[in-house]
Amino acid sequence: MTCKKLRRYIFVILCILFLTGCADIRNRASPDALAVSGNLLAVHISGQDGTVTAECDPLQFPDAVSAAAGAKISAGHISVLMLSEDPARILPAYLQNGWIAPTAQVISAADAVALLNSDPPSAEDIRAAADTGQIPPRTADTVLGDLLGGSGVTALTAPAENGFRLDLWDDAGFCGALPESACRGLALLCGRYCTFTAADADCCFTVDHAKPEIHAEMYGDILQISVSGTFRCGMRRGSLSDAERLLSTMLTAALSESVTKHGADLLQLRERAGAGRYSRTAWRSVLQSAAFSTDITVTAGG
Amino acid sequence: MPQISVTQGIALAVLCRLAAFLTDPCGYTAPFALGTFLAVCSQLLLVLLLCKIRLPQFLRILSGAAAVVWAGVLCLRLHRLLCVLHAPVPLVTLGLLLVTVCLMLRHPFAAAARTAAVFLMLSAAALILLPVSTVGTAEPVYLHMHGDLFGGFLCAWAISGDLFLLVPLLRRTKTPDARRILTGWSIGCGLVIPAVILLGTMQNGRLLGFGGAPFFMLLARTPLSDALRTDGFWLLLAVSLTALSAAALVQNAFIEMRDRE
- Bridge partners for A209 per DSSP: A232
Each residue's pLDDT expressed in tens, for chain A with a length of 302 residues: 567 777 877 877 777 666 655 555 566 778 889 999 988 999 988 877 888 898 988 888 888 888 888 888 877 778 899 999 889 889 988 888 878 888 889 999 989 999 998 888 998 999 999 999 999 999 898 899 888 888 999 999 999 888 899 999 998 889 999 999 999 999 999 888 888 999 888 899 999 888 889 999 999 989 999 999 999 999 999 899 999 999 999 999 999 999 999 999 999 999 899 888 899 999 999 999 999 999 999 998 86
B86, B93, B103: residue with CB nearest A98 = B86
B86, B88, B227: residue with CB nearest A77 = B227
pLDDT of residue A71: 81
C-beta separation of A116 from A71 below 8 A: no
Top residue of B86, B207, B229, B230 to mutate, by most chain A CBs within 10 Å, is: B207
- Bridge partners for A165 per DSSP: A158
Spatial distance between the Cα atoms of A205 and A247, rounded to a whole number of angstroms: 10
Q: pTM of the prediction?
A: 0.84
CB atoms within 10 A of CB A97: 17
Which residues are CB-contacts of B105 (< 8 A; sequence separation ≥ 6)?
Answer: B247, B250, B251
ipTM of the complex: 0.76
Q: Considering only alpha carbons, which residue of chain B is nearest residue A96?
A: B211
pLDDT of residue B93: 87
pLDDT, average across residues B34-38: 94
pLDDT in tens, B213-248: 888 888 877 665 544 444 678 888 999 999 999 999
Q: Nearest Cα to B11, choosing from B172, B183, B184?
A: B184
Query: Min CA distance, B6 vs chain A (Å)?
Result: 31
CB atoms within 10 A of CB A247: 25
Distances (CA, A) of A127 to A105, A143, A146, A189, A290: 9, 15, 20, 17, 31
Q: Considering only alpha carbons, which residue of chain B is nearest residue A24?
A: B88
Q: Do A20 and B210 touch (CB under 8 A)?
A: no
Query: What φ, ψ does residue A139 adopt, rounded to 5°?
Result: -90, 170
Q: Do B139 and A19 touch (CB under 8 A)?
A: no
Amino acid at A59: L
Q: Do A268 and B88 touch (CB under 8 A)?
A: no
Q: Do A271 and B144 touch (CB under 8 A)?
A: yes
A15, A21, A97: residue with CB nearest B88 = A21
